[in-house]
Amino acid sequence: MSDETQLVSKVLVMDNSSEYFDQIKQFCDQNGLIGLKANSANIMAILSSNIDLGAILLADNYCESLDDTMDLARQIHTARPELPIVLRRTSASGFDDLPEKQRKLFCATYTIDDMSPLRKVIDEYIFSLVYPNALVRGISEITVSTLASQFKHLKVSAETPYIVRDRIIFGEVFSLIPLESSWCRGYMMLQTEEGAILDVLGSDELTGNESPATFRTVNNILGEVTNLIWGAFKNRFIADDDPGGRSTTQVPIVINHQHKYISFGSGNPQLCFKYTLLNEEGGHLISIYQWFVFNLNWSPEDFQEIQASVDDLIDSGELELF
């Protein structure tokens, strides 16, 4: 993981040994992880929520017995197989004392005295793709600007970009648009809650008339925002003479609405952004999640941000001669 990317990832820490919390927190802080401690015994309910994660850190003494912990790990793996589970051992036994079926539940083990295997897992499973700083910064700037132009009466803010490995869908409505260039092929997805947008819209200027906003209004607005972001993305990151993707390979996209699950046919982690739109007068809040899934091609070494010349800016009207 590059220190310059400043990307983070959320991990669920399932560990009851309070004497080790400081060491685990220090590891998370040093490795771009946001540790979330489960305070509820109902872990499966937590995992079925909209919490997007990069990994799970599970202690072998989390439950009353090792067998109970293994059973919980099996349930987690069944519910969220895309999430790597790392087992903290109370002794340096590794996988030696575990049956083969139980070993397959975990990608690695570590001890509090030797956390190097955990660092290797973080690099391999979470921060395995390199994202150029200019791309990450540019995506955030483009999206904030687009949202602000479409929701003029709302305050738009962006959180720290992060990486996830899970496939949980947020909200009831999302848009999906292909991304294709010589250096990337995949999809951009925007996800949000229909009710939150309807609460803010009412019958204001975004509906274009005095009739109350409906789900179709939400669809139209999200579609327009998606198109505008993609257009700005192309202008900033894809040259006019870019030959585009040279491969016609495609993979199925699987969506299961009942389980709020989507798969792009790839095990690669996803680059994610979260934006908040606040109506300061009414107190209404809209959360929009943006995923970039480079599941078909990712060649960051070929990425180059397009720098606008002074002549281009004068021609576009953004600058004028003094």
- Of 104, 126, 148, the residue at which a domain comes to its end is 126
Assign 3-state DSSP to the chain and report helix, strand, coil percentages, each to 5.
35, 25, 40
**Tell me, what's the pLDDT at 310?**
41
pLDDT beyond 60 at 319:
no
Q: Are residues 93 and 176 in the same domain?
A: no
State how far the Cα of 147 lies from the Cα of 7, in Å rounded to an integer: 22
**Tell me, what's the pLDDT at 45?**
81
Which token pair is 264? 């792009």
Q: Are residues 68 and 119 in the same domain?
A: yes
Domain span at 212:
133-316
pLDDT digits (tens, 9 = 90+) for 204-259: 545 455 567 788 888 889 999 999 999 999 999 998 888 775 666 667 788 777 77
Q: Confirm whether 101 is domain-assigned.
A: yes
Nearest Cα to Cα of residue 35 among 61, 14, 6, 59: 14
Number of domains the chain contains:
2
What would the mean pLDDT of 254-283 be, rounded to a whole number?
85
Residues in Cβ contact with 125 at an 8 Å cutoff, skipping those fewer than 6 apart: 54, 55, 84, 107, 165, 269
Considering only residues 79 and 211, tell me which one the structure prediction assigns the higher pLDDT: 79
* Sign of the Cα pseudo-torsion (212, 213, 215, 217, in order): positive
- Of 126, 152, 180, the residue at which a domain comes to its end is 126
**Tell me, what's the pLDDT at 281?**
75
**Tell me, what's the pLDDT at 116?**
92
| CATH number of the domain enclosing 44 | 3.40.50.2300
Q: Are residues 105 and 154 in the same domain?
A: no
The DSSP symbol for 238 reads S
| CATH number of the domain enclosing 291 | 3.40.1550.10
**Tell me, what's the pLDDT at 40?**
63
Q: Are residues 118 and 195 in the same domain?
A: no
Q: Are residues 185 and 76 in the same domain?
A: no
